[in-house]
Amino acid sequence: MNHVVVVGAGPSGAAIAFLLARQGIQVSLIERETQFNRVFRGEGLMPSGVEALYEMGLGQCLEAIPSRTLDAWDFYIDQQRRMRVVEPQGRLGKFSTQIICQSALLKNIVEQTKTLPHFKFYPGWQVRELIRSDVSVCGVKATNGHQTQDFMGDLVIVAEGRYSRSRKLADLSLHQSQTQFDVLWFKLPAPAEVLCETAFTVCLQRQRQYAFYPSWDERLQIGWIVEKGQGKTSAERDWAEEFAQAAPPFLAEHFREHCDELEGPIFLDVIVGVCPQWSIPGLLLIGDAAHPMAPNRAQGINMGLRDAIAAANHLVPVLQNSGTLDRITAALQAIQSERLPEIAAIQHLQLEEWQKIAAFTASPFTYRAFKTVANLLGRFGLTQQAWLYQQRKLRHGAVSVRLEH
């Protein structure tokens, strides 16, 4: 059997390591952090991501972690609710949108994988270099403090996230799209009214755009949108007052009263793009390393999990039979061909959503027109259903992804 080195234990890396190791393939999973609970990990898991976890046999890992099932999507414009869309509760109530503790999920997946023979986990090891033979990548060099170790493999799967260093070392370019926004992330104790249900709430004013939801830790998680490049300069603003200005009245008071307990901002640089080529002989990129996703409508974890399923479908039969370099290379190209259409479709939809908000808030006139239309139509069930329908690919994926092995 072949040996696979997976770099990065985020959703994409943890999932592919599990799927390959479960089929008896030797896997080394290398993660630079020693703990999973780093400062920021996305928390929204759309129905397609939930379904992907069950498809992989990791449903129990999801059920065992702190999470909240979404009840509704609320849209406030100028402090008034203009539309509420009830979250469909899915088949058997299982596959609706979830707010999850991602670090707990990753820990559970890796713990479950550790019970499999031929799997080794290396936390605290950071990949620094690729090791190459004449014809292919054949391993990585990683460091842990003063120690250095070579991890040799027939295939290196790079799941290092959006800043992937191995992507650059492999000379695989990233075509970035023009994202015009970054995100500032905050936490605050949540009031009881917010905790009695789980609504993802969008608050819009012409100059203020943010979203919040009660998180798995019972606190309010707030994401504030800033123009690209403006985030790092805005730390000194009176954030509680900024939230209060665009918040529903019951919450505005809460923001002001609890301003001392506000944690943040954490600045999150939004990068969106796709690599025209995801592999070279001996190396494959998956997840954000191949196609960094925008944060809107929580797509990154889903796409990473779905990449892992597609990658396992193509790689398991080849690797179980000690595939030659040529066969492995063909499988890597097939993975990219299968995944690219969905990634392109989802990134397009994410960008479109963002462009709509930018257009609505472009001038006082467009903003007023948008508000009037939302006010008139938002209350009707048909409009709410139309919104859900228009979101279907973002909720359920743009193509069908099923695990074959």
Which position among 74, 87, 160, 342 is part of the footprint of ligand FAD (CB under 6 A)? Answer: 160
What is the SS3 assignment for 203? strand
Which position among 10, 139, 273, 323 is part of the footprint of ligand FAD (CB under 6 A)? Answer: 10
Tokens of 204: 């819009």
Torsions phi, psi for 388 (to 5 deg): -65, -40
Q: How many residues bind ligand FAD (CB under 6 A)?
A: 33
Which position among 2, 4, 11, 96 is part of the footprint of ligand FAD (CB under 6 A)? Answer: 11
Measured distance between the N- and C-terminal CA atoms of the chain, rounded to whole angstroms = 16
**Closest CB 256 distance from ligand FAD, rounded Å:** 25
Q: How far apart are CA 316 and CA 323, in angstroms?
A: 10
Name the residue among 204, 222, 210 with its Cα closest to residue 258: 222
Which position among 4, 5, 6, 8 is part of the footprint of ligand FAD (CB under 6 A)? Answer: 8
Which position among 47, 139, 153, 161 is part of the footprint of ligand FAD (CB under 6 A)? Answer: 161
Q: Choose the stretch contacting ligand FAD; rule: CB under 6 A; options: 71-79, 112-120, 301-309, 341-349.
A: 301-309
**Closest CB 63 distance from ligand FAD, rounded Å:** 18
- Nearest CB to ligand FAD, comparing residues 282 and 323: 282
- Nearest CB to ligand FAD, comparing residues 44 and 282: 44
139 lies in the site for ligand FAD, by CB under 6 A: no
Which position among 58, 157, 225, 298 is part of the footprint of ligand FAD (CB under 6 A)? Answer: 298
Q: Pattern of binders to ligand FAD over 250-269, x per CB under 6 A?
A: ------------------x-
Which position among 5, 183, 222, 332 is part of the footprint of ligand FAD (CB under 6 A)? Answer: 183
Cis bond before residue 265 (omega within 30° of 0): yes
| Side-by-side strand order, sheet with 26-31 | 119-123, 26-31, 3-7, 155-158, 283-285, 279-280
12 lies in the site for ligand FAD, by CB under 6 A: yes
Query: At a CB cut-off of 8 Å and minimum separation 6, what does 336 contact?
Result: 277, 278, 279, 290
Q: Which of residues 80-99 bind ligand FAD (CB under 6 A)?
A: none
- C-beta separation of 222 from 186 below 8 A: yes
214 lies in the site for ligand FAD, by CB under 6 A: no
397 lies in the site for ligand FAD, by CB under 6 A: no
Q: How far apart are CA 43 and CA 67, in angstroms?
A: 9
Name the residue among 252, 273, 75 with its Cα closest to residue 176: 273
- By beta carbon distance, the residue nearest ligand FAD is 300
DSSP state of 324: -
Q: Choose the stretch contacting ligand FAD; rule: CB under 6 A; options: 41-49, 113-121, 338-346, 369-377.
A: 41-49
129 lies in the site for ligand FAD, by CB under 6 A: no
DSSP string, 224-269: EEEETT-GGG-TTS-HHHHHHHHS-HHHHHHHHHTGGG-EEEEEE-
30 lies in the site for ligand FAD, by CB under 6 A: yes
293 lies in the site for ligand FAD, by CB under 6 A: yes
Which position among 87, 154, 288, 342 is part of the footprint of ligand FAD (CB under 6 A)? Answer: 288
68 lies in the site for ligand FAD, by CB under 6 A: no
Residue spans of alpha helices (H) in 237-362: 239-246, 249-257, 300-320, 325-360
225 lies in the site for ligand FAD, by CB under 6 A: no
- Nearest CB to ligand FAD, comparing residues 11 and 323: 11
Q: How far apart are CA 102 and CA 37, in angstroms?
A: 8
- For the chain, the residue count is 405
Q: Which residues bind ligand FAD (CB under 6 A)?
A: 7-13, 30-33, 42-44, 126-127, 159-161, 165, 183, 268, 270, 287-288, 293, 295, 298-302, 304
